[in-house]
Amino acid sequence: FSGLPALAQRTCGTPLAITQAQKAYPKRFAIYRRNLRLGPPSEALKKYQRGTAIAVIPVVVHIVLKDPTVVTDAQVQSQIAVLNTDYSADNADSVKIPQVWKSLFGDMRIQFCLAERTPDGNPSDGIDRVTTAVSSFSEDNAAVLGKLAASGGAVAWDPTRYMNIWVCNIADNVLGIGTPPGLYPADEDGVVVLYTAFGTVGTLLPDYNLGRTLTHETGHYFNLLHPWGDGDGTCSPGDDVDDTPPESAPVYDCPSFPYLKDPCSPASPGVMFMNFMGYANDDCMDLFTVGQVARAQAALLGPHASLLTSDGCQPVILANLDAALGSISSPAGKICTGGVSPVVTLR
């Protein structure tokens, strides 16, 4: 890590993942296009938005590196803490939101827990470390090679019960990739984050050391787009959210407010460069808007609704003295011999 370079600008692999999915999964791409137009809000969504409910999402963090111990438990926990403050409008830096946009500061009312149990019901700390021989994974197809055991990756846990996060080394200076709902096969659904832009402790890139890469990519997982949309230089439709100012291209680094250099929003207050779905540095990101919240909650109660009934956050209650016959390996079926040497598995 002594020669860890600085990354010049934020780079997100989600636009490439969307483009490649259009060719690889045309039927899924059609589902993705429909999901982009989720709404008007269903009765379930309206009830959720009127209430005080907090959605709790079980998370499993797959650390896929040559030395997966490089990312410590403390680093993982620091990242989950950031995710929880950002998705509950409780981030301390929200005080920096310009006065003109303070009324647009939205609360996702989503919390995340490290999984307390594996898909088969065993106790877990929500961290899955996999040692790989692969130096870095390509961003192609949402870094699919990092999600397959055959290519040195880590296999997803049941995506209907867990939000899967892969922490690895991504090639070409890409910070992260998020799969929008329905776009990729279930076992490839989730978020990929560069291990040096994950959490707030450990050896991290200077401009991306506050955990906002995962906040951004999780936004894609919940159907949010970049404010400039497809990035074709036009001002519409952008991200299909009414309360984010039109934007033609990303704003990098940490500019002064107001930023008036974008032709889509040349008059004050300009573009909302501090939005979590933008490309500013971590310490210049501080809000989701009310419109983005409504869009993400629609995805939560729609394509990702199964996460709301998952038992992944419930700890496994273990008895002090307990065992059960899990399986009988041999003998198989009925036997007619005088002696038997059974092979069984106890749990």
| Residues belonging to the active site | 217
Side-chain-facing half-sphere of 254: CA atoms under 13 Å: 10
Q: Which of 18, 7, 6, 14 is nearest to 277 (CA)?
A: 14
Query: Which residue in this structure is represented by tokens 């680094």?
Result: 253
Handedness of CA 62, 67, 71, 74 (dihedral sign): positive
How far apart CA 304 and CA 57 sit, in angstroms, is 10
How far apart CA 296 and CA 219 sit, in angstroms, is 7
Beta strands 110-114 and 55-65: pairing type?
A: parallel
| Planar angle of CA 193, 300, 251, nearest 5 degrees | 45
Q: Residue 175: what are its φ and ψ, rounded to 5°?
A: -80, -35
Residues paired with 328 in a beta bridge = 344
